């Protein structure tokens, strides 16, 4: 369980039938219409049902029909019940548990031979997942679930629907994001009929990650994604269909097939059925007079972390569609002149066979197209039930057999790690993704290495092991883009490399020889990771804790909260991990209090005498800029800081435009965002006045004054590049405005080399960390630079570790992170995302280290690049400093 590991919270899957609580249901009871319950039909102009309305209607259906049952499967981030509807014939619902069990056996190929699997496929029903989406501003999805449920339950004597109810068990999620549905609907309602009727929501529609809730598919950081995955593992659906908006203009709906590339770790049964589903959907839509379906276009599925895609590595046919959207429930009229020029001739294309000719586009149209897509999938599932079920078994069987013959035969996460809690968290993540994980006993050996007892082993001869391979291996994006072809402008759609061991700083070994019976005898399957108990060793009133474990920051922040005195060792001291400079030294707490903390966070300590040279620290007052033009990176940063006990305070435009920031904050973080988001935000008239604008000139002046007075400013990725001219910093972004034929990296893992490991900002980091580079800057100091390069890209060596990087020579030897003295304060610029989507754990320390206040040592002199390009306008900072008191890449257009 997550409670056995630091940071991540346990999410329990609660499944109980709601409908039986309402008393017996008559099969002949009249199914209520949406308008009879809600006062509106799904898709009405200017009307959106919120989550409470939606669930109210589904409960009314469950009270009237024996073909639907409601289940609560978990809690949202804000504490709402997440409910699902299961729809099928009454006979099928009576055997739901049996059908789930059979689906699980086929999905795992458990104790089955081919003949037995064929018989189960012949006699069982197929489970299909359809949902109302998770991007809450894409409003038609949730409304379509109301209409779809009503259609299935109210239609009488229709052979298509009868066949669906007889053969399919539909697991219908009204939404994957209840909190966001309410946020968006309530925002629309309050602005309806005003000039702000179609104004964008000025905050993230999932408390922490907004649009990135569809980027959390394997990491499972958010509660909603934990619930979705756990429910998928319980129901084992053959198909997972997620609704999205918006289609590429002028198409009315985007459908599979996807653009290349696609991972070879996906079963060929899944890959081929994805294409079949798309072509079948196109034909279905045409047959029902719904023109404008397009395929391929800009959507690839290379990134493994999409919530609506990660299930393919568990052999589910998992996909999405994108239906056209104007804004909310407000209709809009389109003429051909509104179309992109290359589509104005209304010419049919191979992947756009029936062009849309324009006209009114209403919410009802989007709902109808979504119902068409959903019905096509349900119809296909009903007609191909037996084949799909048997294919699910075949995919599992073939994967097991493949990894009995071909490497890797297993992955080993050794119990000897620089950061053991991180290693345990990675092993736990595999369990939560449905993989079998084993703990090793003493004497387990693989690849000639004797692993300590308690190491975690993932044998690959199991049904879902392709996911482990996808997450553990280095990604090599197909080389079709080599040389910076024009295709690089639109593709890749998302990041191209995500290798989790590299991101998390965990050593994982691929086993290259088959596991023997003796090796397997030394393995015990576990249902949850349990880290070894951590304690305090040695005598002394000062307790040394390693700086290398991320959980050490939780421990330290907890200790500070309890009144401890904490300092950093400037001299090498002994810790449980060895001898290191920068260890945390805790005093002022009893030994039993420290033992309680080590037990809580699984971080050991050593009692010792205080070294001669130390830096006393206190937790900084951290301000995190939170723009009204919402930045996803801000939400991720806030979530991470809260989990580690840094207690950040959100700084909005009005706060940052107020004077005397230094009196309120020690450190201010500018998360990744565009320069326009940072300075200008939403324009006046786009949103209500209180949400318009960005930092503005007053805000920039106040930030400048904040740093001059001794504050620490930390800027991530694009914000780091944007702040350079705003504060006239003597540093340049050497790839500013570079086209793809000069440099391209939409998201890849790059190796950097640490400079000045003796600086506190680099304490605990490795000599050559791997960072997530995603459309960020690379730096070069200019004359007047007073500071230090903290990390640089290798000289004469390609820094690429995983993903796609074109023209690495553009950043060869350039700085990846710099620290500048500025007046009495400091500015830190990171040309990457040190907290990327809650995944890049190994680089958290880059900014964690800056969130403590202490007397900082002088910065070293740094050589300056030549030739001189421009002199900075800012006056050189004072050479001596007072006490140090510190402290998105553009998302896809729709998906």
**Per-residue pLDDT tens over the stretch 268-326:** 999 999 999 999 999 999 999 999 999 998 889 999 999 999 999 999 999 999 999 99
Using an 8 Å Cβ cutoff, are 859 and 821 in contact?
A: yes
DSSP string, 308-350: TTGGGGGT-EEEEEEE--SBTTB-EEE-GGGS-GGGTT---BT
3-state SS assignment for residue 119: helix
Structure tokens at 650: 């959100």
Using an 8 Å Cβ cutoff, are 654 and 699 in contact?
A: no
HSE-up of residue 724 (Cα within 13 Å, Cβ side): 27
Helix 114-123 and helix 96-108: axis angle, to 10°?
150
Using an 8 Å Cβ cutoff, are 239 and 312 in contact?
A: no
Phi, psi at 153, each rounded to 5°: -90, -20
DSSP string, 480-510: GGTTT-GGGGT--SS-S---HHHHHT--EEE
Q: Is the peptide bond before 624 cis (omega within 30 degrees of 0)?
A: no
Q: In Å, what is the CA distance from 179 to each residue of 33, 297, 838?
A: 25, 31, 20
What integer pLDDT is reported at residue 686 of this predicted model?
Answer: 98
Structure tokens at 687: 């949103």
Of 715, 551, 547, nearest in space to 644 by CA:
551
What integer pLDDT is reported at residue 863 of this predicted model?
Answer: 65
Helix 140-154 and helix 363-383: axis angle, to 10°?
50
Residue in this structure with the two tokens 């998105």, named with its chain if needed? 888
Of 282, 499, 532, 542, nearest in space to 411 by CA:
499
Q: Is the peptide bond before 257 cis (omega within 30 degrees of 0)?
A: yes
Cβ neighbours of residue 354 under 8 Å, at least 6 residues apart?
A: 286, 291, 292, 293, 348
Average pLDDT, the chain: 92
DSSP string, 798-812: --EEEB--B-GGGGT
HSE-up of residue 861 (Cα within 13 Å, Cβ side): 3
What integer pLDDT is reported at residue 437 of this predicted model?
Answer: 98
Using an 8 Å Cβ cutoff, are 561 and 645 in contact?
A: yes
Give the whole-angstrom CA distance, residue 760 versus residue 765.
10
Cβ neighbours of residue 527 under 8 Å, at least 6 residues apart?
A: 431
What integer pLDDT is reported at residue 864 of this predicted model?
Answer: 63
Q: Which helix (H) or strand (E) holds 162?
A: helix 159-167
What integer pLDDT is reported at residue 876 of this predicted model?
Answer: 34
Give the whole-angstrom CA distance, residue 766 versus residue 768.
5
Of 287, 269, 359, 281, nearest in space to 322 by CA:
281
DSSP string, 205-272: SSTTTGGGGGS-TTT--SHHHHHHHHHHHHH--SEEEEEE--PSTT-SEE-SSPBSP--TTS-HHHHH
DSSP string, 565-594: EEEEESS-EEETTEEETT-EEEESS-HHHH
Using an 8 Å Cβ cutoff, are 780 and 811 in contact?
A: no
Phi, psi at 865, each rounded to 5°: -70, 155
CA 169, distance to chain mean position in Å, is 29
Residues of the chain falling short of pLDDT 70: 1-28, 479-491, 861, 863-895
Cβ neighbours of residue 861 under 8 Å, at least 6 residues apart?
A: 786
Structure tokens at 666: 């020690």
Structure tokens at 535: 């304690």
3-state SS assignment for residue 173: strand
Give the whole-angstrom CA distance, residue 799 versus residue 810.
11
Angle (nearest 5°) at CA 649 between 886 and 775 = 75
Q: In Å, what is the CA distance from 120 to each residue of 99, 195, 239, 332?
A: 10, 58, 18, 50
Residue in this structure with the two tokens 């981030």, named with its chain if needed? 77
């Amino acid at each position: 369980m997550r409670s056995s590991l630091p940071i991540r919270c346990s999410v329990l899957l609660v499944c109980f039938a709601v409908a039986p609580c309402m008393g017996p249901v008559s099969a002949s009871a009249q199914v209520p219409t949406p308008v009879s319950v809600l006062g509106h039909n799904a898709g009405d102009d200017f009307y959106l049902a919120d989550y409470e309305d939606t669930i109210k209607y589904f409960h009314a259906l469950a009270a009237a029909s024996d073909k639907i049952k409601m289940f609560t499967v978990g809690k949202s981030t804000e504490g709402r019940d997440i409910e699902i509807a299961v729809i099928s014939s009454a006979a099928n619902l009576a055997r739901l548990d049996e059908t789930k069990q059979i689906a699980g056996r086929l999905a795992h190929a458990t104790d089955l031979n081919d003949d037995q699997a064929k018989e189960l496929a012949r006699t069982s029903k197929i489970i299909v997942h359809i949902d109302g989406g998770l991007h809450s501003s894409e409003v038609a999805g949730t409304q379509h679930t109301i209409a779809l449920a009503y259609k299935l339950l109210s239609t009488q004597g229709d052979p298509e629907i009868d066949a669906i109810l007889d053969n399919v068990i539909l697991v219908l999620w009204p939404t994957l994001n209840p909190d966001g549905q309410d946020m968006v609907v309530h925002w629309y309602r309050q602005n309806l009929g005003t000039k702000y009727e179609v104004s964008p929501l000025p905050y993230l529609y999932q408390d922490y990650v907004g649009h990135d809730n569809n980027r959390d598919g394997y990491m499972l950081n958010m509660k909603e994604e934990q619930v979705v995955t756990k429910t998928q593992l319980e129901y084992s659906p053959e198909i997972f269909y997620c609704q999205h908006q918006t289609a590429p203009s002028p198409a009315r709906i985007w459908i599979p097939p996807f653009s290349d590339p696609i991972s070879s770790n996906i079963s060929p049964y899944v890959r081929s059925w994805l294409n079949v589903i798309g072509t079948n959907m196109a034909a279905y839509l045409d047959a029902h007079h719904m023109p404008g379906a397009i395929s391929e276009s800009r959507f690839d599925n290379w990134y493994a972390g999409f919530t609506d895609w990660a299930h393919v590595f568990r052999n589910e046919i998992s996909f999405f569609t994108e239906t056209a959207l104007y804004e909310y429930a407000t209709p809009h009229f389109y003429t051909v002149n509104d179309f992109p020029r290359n589509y104005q001739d209304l010419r049919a294309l191979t992947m756009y066979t029936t062009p849309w000719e324009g006209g009114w586009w209403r919410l009802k149209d989007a709902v109808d197209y979504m119902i068409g897509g959903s019905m096509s999938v349900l119809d296909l599932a009903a007609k191909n039930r037996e084949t799909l079920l048997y294919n699910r078994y075949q995919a599992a069987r073939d994967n097991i057999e493949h990894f009995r013959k071909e490497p890797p035969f297993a992955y080993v996460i050794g119990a000897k790690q620089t950061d053991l809690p991180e290693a345990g968290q990675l092993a736990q993540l595999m369990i939560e993704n449905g993989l079998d994980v084993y703990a090793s006993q003493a004497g387990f050996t693989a690849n000639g290495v004797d692993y300590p007892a308690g190491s975690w082993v993932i044998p690959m001869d199991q049904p879902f092991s392709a996911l482990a391979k996808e997450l553990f291996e280095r990604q090599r994006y197909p080389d079709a883009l080599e040389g910076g072809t024009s295709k690089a402008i639109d593709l890749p759609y998302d990041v191209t490399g995500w290798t989790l061991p590299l991101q998390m700083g965990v050593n994982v070994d691929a086993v290259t020889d088959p596991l023997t019976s003796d090796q397997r005898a030394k393995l015990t399957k576990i249902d949850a990771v349990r880290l070894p108990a951590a304690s305090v060793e040695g005598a002394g009133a000062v307790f040394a804790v390693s700086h290398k474990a991320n959980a050490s920051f939780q421990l330290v922040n907890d200790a500070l909260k309890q009144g401890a005195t904490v300092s950093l060792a400037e001299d090498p001291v002994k810790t449980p991990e060895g001898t290191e400079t920068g260890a945390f030294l805790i005093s002022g707490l009893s030994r039993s209090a420290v033992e309680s903390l080590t037990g809580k966070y699984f971080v050991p300590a050593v009692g010792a005498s205080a070294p001669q040279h130390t830096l006393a620290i206190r937790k900084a007052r951290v301000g995190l800029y939170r723009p009204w033009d919402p930045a996803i990176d801000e939400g991720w940063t806030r979530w991470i800081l809260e989990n580690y006990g840094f207690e950040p305070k959100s700084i909005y435009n009005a706060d940052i435009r107020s004077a005397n920031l230094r009196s309120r904050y020690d450190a201010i973080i500018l998360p990744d965002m565009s320069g326009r988001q940072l300075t200008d935000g939403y324009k006046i008239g786009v949103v209500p006045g209180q949400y318009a604008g960005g930092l503005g000139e007053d805000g920039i002046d106040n930030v400048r004054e904040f740093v001059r007075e001794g504050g620490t400013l930390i800027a991530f990725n694009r914000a780091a590049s944007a702040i350079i001219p705003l504060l006239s910093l003597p540093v340049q972004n050497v790839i500013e405005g570079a086209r793809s034929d000069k440099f391209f990296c939409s998201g890849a893992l790059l190796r950097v080399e640490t400079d000045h490991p003796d600086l506190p900002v680099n304490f605990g980091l490795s000599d050559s960390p791997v960072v997530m580079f995603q459309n960020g800057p690379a730096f070069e100091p200019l004359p007047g630079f007073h500071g230090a390069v903290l990390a640089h890209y290798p000289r004469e060596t390609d820094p690429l570790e995983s993903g796609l990087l074109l023209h690495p020579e553009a950043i060869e030897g350039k700085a990846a992170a710099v620290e500048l003295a500025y007046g009495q304060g400091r500015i830190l610029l990171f040309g990457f995302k040190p907290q990327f989507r809650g995944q890049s754990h190994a680089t958290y320390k880059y900014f964690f280290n800056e969130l403590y206040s202490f007397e900082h040592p002088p910065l070293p002199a740094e050589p300056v690049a030549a030739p001189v390009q421009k002199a900075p306008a800012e006056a050189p900072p004072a050479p001596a400093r007072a006490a140090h008191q510190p402290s998105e890449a553009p998302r896809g257009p729709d998906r």
